[in-house]
């Protein structure tokens, strides 16, 4: 079988994705009303900085209407970056196979 390692790697990645999704679903289900499951350190740090009377130097040109839109832009950036990196991995792998 020519692609045995790739098939095994795909199965392992799929297994990890399923484990992550099941774990995430159980965490989301066990939250109380108004709690955030993935509230990060960035929000906590911003609250501490702003509580000391800090005033920003500038304001953004455009602010997304909601946090979901902001998350969408972040995930699109990640997807585009992953596509670019994947393209170059494939390019160099096919280049090695040709020589």
CA 99 – CA 89 distance, rounded (Å): 16
Residue 54: inside a domain: no
3-state secondary structure of 64: coil
pLDDT at 19: 98
By residue range, what is the domain housing residue 95?
67-99
Residue 18: inside a domain: yes
Global model pTM greater than 0.85: no
- What's the domain count of the chain? 2
CA 64 – CA 42 distance, rounded (Å): 18
Q: Averaged over 12-41, what is the pLDDT?
A: 84
Residue 41: inside a domain: no
Residue 94: inside a domain: yes
Return mean pLDDT, the chain: 87
pLDDT at 81: 97
4-8, 42-46, 47-51, 73-77: range with lowest mean pLDDT: 42-46
Looking at the chain, the whole-number percentage of residues with pLDDT higher than 90 is 43
Q: Where are the alpha helices (DSSP H) in the chain?
A: 4-29, 41-51, 67-98
Residue 46: inside a domain: no
Cβ contacts of 66-74, under 8 Å, gap ≥ 24: none
């Amino acid at each position: 079988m020519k692609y045995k390692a790739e098939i095994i790697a795909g199965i392992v990645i799929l297994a990890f994705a399923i484990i992550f999704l099941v774990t995430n679903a159980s965490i989301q289900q066990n939250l109380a009303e108004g709690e955030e499951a993935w509230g990060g350190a960035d929000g906590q740090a911003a609250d501490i900085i702003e509580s000391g009377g800090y005033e920003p130097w500038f304001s953004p040109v455009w602010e997304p209407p909601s946090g979901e839109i902001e998350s969408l832009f972040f995930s699109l950036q990640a997807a585009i970056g992953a596509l670019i990196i994947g393209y170059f991995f494939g390019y160099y792998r096919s280049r090695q196979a040709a020589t």
